[in-house]
Amino acid sequence: MNILNLFKVSLKAVANNKMRSFLSMLGIIIGVAAVIIMMAIGQGSKENIRKELSTMGTNLLTIRPGADFRGGVRQDPSSMQTLKMADYQRIMAEKKFVTKVSPEVTSSGQVIYGNNNTTTTIYGETPEYLDIKLWSVESGECFTEEDIRKAAKKVVVGKTIVTELFGEGVDPIGKTIRFKSIPMTIIGVLKSKGYNSWGMDQDNVMIAPYSTVMKRIAAQTWFTSINCSAVTEELSDAAIEELTQILRETHKLKEGADDDFTIRSQAEMMETMSSTMDTVTLILVVAAAFSLLVAGIGIMNIMLVSVTERTKEIGLRMAVGATGTVISLQFLIESVMISVTGGLLGIALGCTVSEFVAPVVGMPSSVPLWAVNVSFLVCVFIGVLFGYIPAQKAANMDSIEAIRHE
């Protein structure tokens, strides 16, 4: 019997038991769909995170104070005061792989206008900060270097601040607000960025000259961090080495001593987040894949029942010349047919849910082509693996005993 005839016989056998065949496929359908959906959500989330991080500049470098031991106790990096004006000035004077630099001082508190108020964070920066973080001023203007020298009480605000304090459609340029009792004049409004992947409102922000925040609000002489922009993303590592050398010399650190600062690149953050998402996705896929194992066992059970029910048929085929190999191949084809059909339906269901349902419930999704291909191959493997035992049982039957079977 040739392969084409075996396919016809197997297809007829599957079609004669439609409900049982569908129930056998159901586990495969659900398992494959679950794997596809998990992979799509994982891939979509990873792409979404990369997109969010890229909106802050792919060549962004952030210098922060490092942890230190004092009296045998590790200090919180946020409490360290290792980044000073001398560091900023030295970087500005010696930078080669860095284009823009903005020291940063932050303070959180309540901002008030008339009877309205809201809680926000004010960032003390240089005008270059907007270019580093890819911000743009939608109306008004940004403060200048002259404002930094004078510690001018000027501020650029996000759209959320405008809405909370003034309402929709109101032009706030020139109006004076108070942050921690310090009057600040609004000179510009930032273009809206909306919420990021972590649910943070990026428009709930105020940006002022760093000297203003240092002297008038935070009353400190050190920087919370220093933001830099490498010449290109490819030169980020070279820029990190350059900044590390400058800061170690400025801080007079001896050879072999640990850095009292940390430098992180946006590319490093992307890699870390991608690695985390890959791990989470793998866990979810492994959990979903267990349903495929259960489905494979279900197919094996159904095929064993089918072999028992068709014992007489198997005996008659053997009596007219069918070999054990042909009988075994027939049942293997039936098993693979059930598994692959269920897999194709599962792929279609998973892609449909990922494409239309996931975005509706606010979950990013992107079905990778390799996941579809792997799912199909897994279904073929399951059909062969769990169809092997029933196929061998059928092939090893004694033809005489099979014909006598009632």
Boundary residue ending a domain (203, 235, 259): 259
Is residue 285 located within the same domain as residue 241? Answer: no
pLDDT tens-place values along the chain, 406 residues long:
567 777 777 777 777 777 878 888 888 888 888 888 888 877 777 777 666 665 666 688 999 987 554 444 445 555 567 899 999 999 999 999 999 999 999 999 999 998 999 999 999 999 999 988 888 999 999 999 999 999 999 999 999 999 999 988 889 999 999 998 899 999 999 999 887 766 688 899 999 999 999 999 998 989 999 999 988 878 888 999 999 999 999 999 888 888 888 988 877 666 666 677 777 777 777 777 777 788 888 888 888 888 887 778 778 877 877 787 888 888 888 888 888 888 889 888 888 888 877 666 666 777 778 778 888 888 888 888 888 888 888 878 777 776 766 5
Question: What's residue 13's pLDDT?
Answer: 74
Question: What's residue 78's pLDDT?
Answer: 53
**Total structural domains within the chain:** 2
How many CB atoms are closer than 10 A to CB 276?
Answer: 12
Rounded-to-integer distance, Cα 180 and Cα 108, Å? 9
Tokens of 203: 């428009």
Domain contains 386: yes
Question: What's residue 106's pLDDT?
Answer: 94
Question: What's residue 214's pLDDT?
Answer: 93
Q: Which domain holds residue 351?
A: 3-52+272-404
Question: What's residue 57's pLDDT?
Answer: 63
> In Å, what is the CA distance from 336 to each residue of 233, 383, 393, 397?
49, 4, 17, 21
Question: What's residue 25's pLDDT?
Answer: 83
Domain contains 60: no
Domain contains 68: no
Boundary residue ending a domain (231, 259, 287): 259
Is residue 220 located within the same domain as residue 365? Answer: no
Rounded-to-integer distance, Cα 263 and Cα 235, Å? 14
Domain contains 216: yes
Domain contains 113: yes
Is residue 94 located within the same domain as residue 210? Answer: yes
User: pTM of the prediction?
Assistant: 0.63
Rounded-to-integer distance, Cα 295 and Cα 285, Å? 15
Is residue 202 located within the same domain as residue 347? Answer: no
Boundary residue ending a domain (237, 259, 281): 259
Is residue 210 located within the same domain as residue 359? Answer: no
Question: What's residue 309's pLDDT?
Answer: 77
Is residue 113 located within the same domain as residue 236? Answer: yes
Is residue 204 located within the same domain as residue 353? Answer: no
Question: What's residue 178's pLDDT?
Answer: 95
Domain contains 99: yes
Is residue 234 located within the same domain as residue 283? Answer: no
Question: What's residue 145's pLDDT?
Answer: 93
C-beta of residue 399 within 8 angstroms of C-beta of residue 326: no
The residue behind tokens 């194709």 is 344
Domain contains 266: no
Is residue 237 located within the same domain as residue 120? Answer: yes
Is residue 255 located within the same domain as residue 115? Answer: yes
Would you list the DSSP string of 187-252? EEEEPP--B-TTS-BTTSEEEEEHHHIIIIII--SS-SEEEEEESSGGGHHHHHHHHHHHHHHHTT
Domain contains 96: yes
Is residue 276 located within the same domain as residue 391? Answer: yes
Question: What's residue 316's pLDDT?
Answer: 80
Is residue 167 located within the same domain as residue 222? Answer: yes
